[in-house]
Chain A
């Protein structure tokens, strides 16, 4: 035990830090042992309150995580005892405990088994609604409160509480497993997990431009999840690809919004503000992944982002390389958004007319008809091709379809530039 003379405020900070740091790992372990997310959350809540009562008297334990785990395990058993429905289950669990569980109180943090991978796959199970996958992942693995998750997605706390409850009930009632999926379905399931993490990142990325600042940084949470997942699945190159991609986006944070809160596009960003450490970390991840063999979509997207990261300025970007990478990406997934980006890359690698011709292929244009960035991209190409009248019309069409205020302001500025020149 450390000194017990610490102030209450210090202890509170120590408790909060220990809970926040270890939350996902502890919850995953409790869920694995007791088979229920709600029970695990309640027991961790009990353990947190117990820590706030005991640590001011006894001092902060040498291993806060092990203390919280032991306390939460005891509280889980107490809760199961009170709940007559679980009598059979309790019998099995006590028998298992008696047969010699590892004595966690003597373990250091590194030796507490990490069961988070099972929990990640449970939370991102495709039988759960996509918005529930996201909410549950933030709540259980990142340890955010229901209020924080609700706030981050700008919905009422009661709505979020219901969404989480419904998801937890489905996991229990339909027996969604706490397991790393079998090899035959692992690829598909991992895709869902990666999609959830990237969604969380993008929510953070695009909401940070305008509107009220949010207390929870979803980008940081997504990066943390990506790092955990990579540590647990080091052989999965797409996990490394996603982490590299997120780091590269993150590296431009300081440059992408002006002091006045206006979006600054890639062309006009001050590249000296880019975070070189994040870029170097992404490079290392990406190189190690690409050596291992065929590159998946996240690795290719990261490679595209890395070309930008290493360009001295916008004009000197290696657009031919970017075109090649987008063609590669278009081959691996049939996605009109990829083709939209390919058209833009072509407009820089060749000229705006070639980009427009690609974009105006009837089949592609049809697929992108309801996609707002299509109009913004087309406006950009028309403007650069000197077709000012058509470009202005297209900017208006893009503005009319946009629901992000910072984005609308950006497009309005481009339109004003066009009309004043």
Chain B
């Protein structure tokens, strides 16, 4: 089962470039990524640019509406993700707890829909 682990954080919170603990923080990410790769469950994973670069697209009555910023103004924004192939939710939750940002932000774990019947049921 594939799970998307979405990393939410408050921008400016947690270790920032230049902070003494920033190197350790990035190192923890590096180690986590390596470990899920070695376990063979890593499919993809990337950080995102700042939410200030986000653009939202909607199509209403056939007209494309484009607006600056994320869909909803919230304190915590999506900062990156991992796509992992796990045995079950417990394995995904175990991985999520070890993403370094989990210590000051939060990780939303969502299964990838396998067929529409499941999603509609």
Q: Which B86-121 residues have a C-beta within 8 angstroms of A?
A: 86-90, 93-94, 109-111, 113, 115, 117-119, 121
- Please measure, in the bound complex, the distance between the C-alpha atom of A85 and the C-alpha atom of B86, giving whole angstroms: 22
Q: Which A164-181 residues have a C-beta within 8 angstroms of B?
A: 169, 172-177, 179, 181
Top 8 A-B residue pairs of the complex, sorted by shortest distance between their CB atoms: A177-B88, A175-B1, A175-B88, A174-B111, A176-B89, A174-B89, A175-B89, A173-B118
B89 touches A177 (CB 8 A): yes
Instruction: Report if A127 contacts B (CB, 8 A).
Output: yes
B88 touches A173 (CB 8 A): no
Give chain B's interface secondary structure class. Answer: mixed
- Please measure, in the bound complex, the distance between the C-alpha atom of A69 and the C-alpha atom of B115, giving whole angstroms: 30
The tally of residues in A whose CB lies under 8 Å from a CB in B reads: 14
A173 touches B93 (CB 8 A): no
Chain B: minimal CB distance from A175 (Å): 4
A173 touches B111 (CB 8 A): yes
Q: Which A131-186 residues have a C-beta within 8 angstroms of B?
A: 169, 172-177, 179, 181-182, 185
B residues in contact (CB < 8 Å) with A? 1, 86-90, 93-94, 109-111, 113, 115, 117-119, 121
Chain A: minimal CB distance from B4 (Å): 11
- Please measure, in the bound complex, the distance between the C-alpha atom of A174 and the C-alpha atom of B90, giving whole angstroms: 10
- Please measure, in the bound complex, the distance between the C-alpha atom of A172 and the C-alpha atom of B111, giving whole angstroms: 10
A177 touches B118 (CB 8 A): no
A185 touches B115 (CB 8 A): no
Chain A: minimal CB distance from B64 (Å): 31
Determine the chain A residues whose CB is within 8 A of the CB of B113 once the complex forms.
173
Residue of chain B at shortest CB distance from A85: B117
Chain B: minimal CB distance from A225 (Å): 22
- Please measure, in the bound complex, the distance between the C-alpha atom of A127 and the C-alpha atom of B110, giving whole angstroms: 11
- Please measure, in the bound complex, the distance between the C-alpha atom of A169 and the C-alpha atom of B117, giving whole angstroms: 11
A127 touches B93 (CB 8 A): yes
Q: Which A159-215 residues have a C-beta within 8 angstroms of B?
A: 169, 172-177, 179, 181-182, 185
Chain A: minimal CB distance from B114 (Å): 8
Q: Which A218-251 residues have a C-beta within 8 angstroms of B?
A: none
A176 touches B117 (CB 8 A): no
- Please measure, in the bound complex, the distance between the C-alpha atom of A173 and the C-alpha atom of B86, giving whole angstroms: 13
- Please measure, in the bound complex, the distance between the C-alpha atom of A399 and the C-alpha atom of B1, giving whole angstroms: 52
Residue of chain A at shortest CB distance from B119: A173
Residue of chain A at shortest CB distance from B114: A173
Determine the chain B residues whose CB is within 8 A of the CB of A172 once the complex forms.
118, 121
Given the known inter-chain contacts A173-B111, A174-B111, A175-B111, please indicate yes or no for A181 contacting B118, CB distance below 8 A. Answer: no
Determine the chain B residues whose CB is within 8 A of the CB of A179 once the complex forms.
88, 90
Chain B: minimal CB distance from A306 (Å): 37
- Please measure, in the bound complex, the distance between the C-alpha atom of A189 and the C-alpha atom of B86, giving whole angstroms: 20
Per a CB cutoff under 8 Å, which of B1, B90, B115, B117 touches A181?
A: B90
B88 touches A176 (CB 8 A): yes
A169 touches B121 (CB 8 A): yes
Chain B: minimal CB distance from A103 (Å): 30
Determine the chain A residues whose CB is within 8 A of the CB of B121 once the complex forms.
169, 172-173
- Please measure, in the bound complex, the distance between the C-alpha atom of A112 and the C-alpha atom of B10, giving whole angstroms: 53
- Please measure, in the bound complex, the distance between the C-alpha atom of A284 and the C-alpha atom of B48, giving whole angstroms: 59
Chain A: minimal CB distance from B86 (Å): 8
Chain A: minimal CB distance from B48 (Å): 24
